[in-house]
Structure 1
Amino acid sequence: MALHPPRAILFDLDGTLADTAPDLAAAINQLRIVRGLVPAPYELLRPAASAGARGMIEAAFGLKPGDDDYEELRIGFLDNYASALAVKSHLFDGITTLLDALRDNDVPWGIVTNKAARFTDPLVPQIGLQDASCVISGDTTQHPKPHPAPLHEAARRLALAPQDCWYVGDDLRDIQAGQAAGMSTIAAAWGYCGNV
């Protein structure tokens, strides 16, 4: 299928624009250390970064929502992350060049993430993404991805039809959301779930 030129490009945040896994891993490993456990290997935690607290807790502790101690761990993890969310997080290689090229060609770009605004809002400027034309967080709309609502909201804010936008993400839920929204969708194989 040939892609038509986009009037805007929307990106997932974690695992697509930015490598936030180091700070997510540090936040979950703080919980392991407090509980007398050795830190979990980064190689185990990195693939779970795209799934947020749920994925990190499952990777580091083997617990799922509803399990004993899960909610306590979730709160602790989110508190740890909020206090140090841009220590080692950085843009992936080539992203700055890509965003500069979009700007130079008058193609607006935005961020559509499932990360809550509590984390997205301070993180975006700290890692150099403050020029986004729109930022849609996981709690901006009633439904997060893979529902198309966040992508539709981004297109609305850009005053564009969804089919005029491309969406780039690293997780299956990104591909599903982009397709459900009627956008041309591109898998970011450099991200956490490169097998989408």
Structure 2
Amino acid sequence: MSASSFPPVALFDLDGTLLDTAPDFVVTANAMRQARGMEALTEERLRPVVSKGARAMLAATFPHMAESERHALVPEFLDVYQSLIGRHARLFDGVADMLQALERAGSRWGIVTNKPEYLARLILPQLGWEQRCAVLIGGDTLAERKPHPLPLQVAAQRIGAAAHRCVYVGDDERDIQAARAAAMPSIAALWGYRPESDDPVLWQADVMAATPAALLEPAAWPATAS
């Protein structure tokens, strides 16, 4: 790929990369806290760990509970979230323009997320993405999930491209680890969810992007092997 063209295929994480889902999860967490007579959490408490998944969000929601108690609450957490999914979520600024730029250039794009597939699929029609998203792999689609490379490898296969012809964009270290293990160039999405203790420089992504708008130019993307 030359610096004047986008990658043939762009694969994205969902929560914290394409979609700001933190507001939905804050409402979910606070519904569970309210049911137990607890005060509401602020978004600032939950936001940094959204990309870490349900267990990490439950740890922030119920820090006083034992890990085994919190693990037992995962089904309830997902049920509450499903009941309001997408109601408060929104695209990150610049994502719509970025996806349009890829499509105009003839590139295809898809989603590889650790969110359960059934929940991710509920979001697609809300955004008008059913036909636009070329592949969707969820955290329970396969036997492995990120940081294992299998989800990225299968996404590439399903879209009909070699892994090294794709670029993966994500806001968590697991995203970059999965891409590296799949021999897929990667972009660290610095606009996503990240605890202060996480240093994205240490992830060793091929590119770090401050905003989705930074990816409107083909030259901002890492080169893919021909």
TM-score w.r.t. length of structure 2: 0.81
Secondary structure at 1:24 match in 2: helix
Shift of 1:66: 4.3
Partner of 2:93: 93
Cα distance in structure 2, aligned partners of 1:47 and 1:79:
22
1:23-42 to 2 correspondences below 5 Å: 23-42=24-43
Equivalent pair of 1:7/1:108 in contact (CA under 8 Å)? yes
CA change 1:64–1:48 in 2 (3 A) is farther
Equivalent pair of 1:29/1:40 in contact (CA under 8 Å)? yes
Secondary structure at 1:187 match in 2: strand
CA change 1:81–1:141 in 2 (3 A) is same
Secondary structure at 2:168 match in 1: strand
1:130-145 to 2 correspondences below 5 Å: 130=130, 131-145=132-146
Moved over 3 A (4+): 2-5, 63-66
Partner of 2:48: 47
Partner of 1:125: 125
- Which sections of structure 1, spanning at least 5 residues, go unmatched? none
Residue by residue over 1:112-166, the C-alpha shift from the partner in whole angstroms, topping out at 9 and shown as x without a partner, is 0000012111112213332111111111111000000000011001111100000
Cα distance in structure 1, aligned partners of 2:165 and 2:159:
10
Cα distance in structure 1, aligned partners of 2:6 and 2:128:
26
Q: Amino acid of the residue matched to residue 98 of structure 2?
A: L
CA-atom RMSD, angstroms? Answer: 1.9
What is the percent sequence identity of the aligned residues? 44
Cα distance in structure 2, aligned partners of 1:18 and 1:66:
28
Partner of 1:73: 73
Deviates more, 1:71-80 or 1:152-161: 71-80
Secondary structure at 2:139 match in 1: coil
Shift of 1:180: 0.6
Cα distance in structure 2, aligned partners of 1:180 and 1:148:
5
Cα distance in structure 2, aligned partners of 1:6 and 1:185:
11
Residue by residue over 1:14-69, the C-alpha shift from the partner in whole angstroms, topping out at 9 and shown as x without a partner, is 000000011011111101011110111110100111122101100111167742x3
Equivalent pair of 2:22/2:47 in contact (CA under 8 Å)? yes
Equivalent pair of 1:111/1:132 in contact (CA under 8 Å)? yes
Cα distance in structure 1, aligned partners of 2:122 and 2:160:
25
TM-score w.r.t. length of structure 1: 0.93
Secondary structure at 2:167 match in 1: strand
- Residue-pair matches, total: 194
Partner of 2:170: 169
Equivalent pair of 1:63/1:70 in contact (CA under 8 Å)? no
Cα distance in structure 1, aligned partners of 2:6 and 2:91:
24
Equivalent pair of 1:54/1:64 in contact (CA under 8 Å)? no
